[in-house]
């Protein structure tokens, strides 16, 4: 893969990971008694850092091992796992301090769905030509 396509692929990983972190934040904060604002300010970065590290590792495992390696038969990439985990930690920390509008989150989710759909479409189009 050339450098430009690889950069676009990596940026798509980053974008989708950030959107999923904000989705997770929205889910956590939407429960009645559960909210990031209920946590002590000194513990918030620790909670978010550890929580989103686990989230990022789980997300990268699902994408790299289950979807790409098992279903699409593409070798898993350690670089993609590192990118997704690091992005999840940074985005997870930001979710505790920067809230985004629900409509904006909906638009970003639609864009993410478009990225994934386009990726799968291109993959299967190339695979069927071979």
- Supply the pLDDT for residue 99: 79
pTM listed for this prediction: 0.82
Work out the mean pLDDT of the chain and round it to a whole number.
85
pLDDT of 105 over the 90 cut: no
What are all long-range contacts of 68-73, with beta carbons under 8 Å and residues at least 24 apart? Answer: 72/123
Sign, Cα dihedral of 63, 68, 70, 72: positive
Confidence of residue 87 (pLDDT cuts 50, 70, 90): very high
> pLDDT by residue (tens digit) across 37-67?
777 878 888 988 999 999 999 999 998 889 8
Query: Closest Cα partner for 13 from 54, 56, 73, 50?
Result: 56
């Amino acid at each position: 893969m050339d450098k430009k396509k690889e950069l676009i692929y990596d940026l798509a990983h980053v974008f989708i990971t950030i959107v999923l972190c904000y989705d997770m934040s929205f889910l956590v904060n939407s429960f009645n008694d559960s909210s990031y604002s209920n946590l002590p300010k000194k513990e918030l970065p620790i909670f978010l850092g550890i929580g989103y590290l686990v989230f990022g590792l789980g997300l990268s495992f699902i994408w790299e091992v289950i979807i790409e390696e098992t279903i699409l038969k593409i070798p898993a990439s350690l670089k993609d796992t590192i990118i997704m985990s690091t992005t999840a930690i940074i985005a997870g920390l930001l979710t505790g301090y920067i809230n985004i509008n629900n409509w904006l989150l909906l638009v970003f989710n639609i864009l993410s769905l478009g990225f994934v759909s386009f990726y799968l479409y291109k993959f299967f189009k190339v695979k069927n030509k071979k």
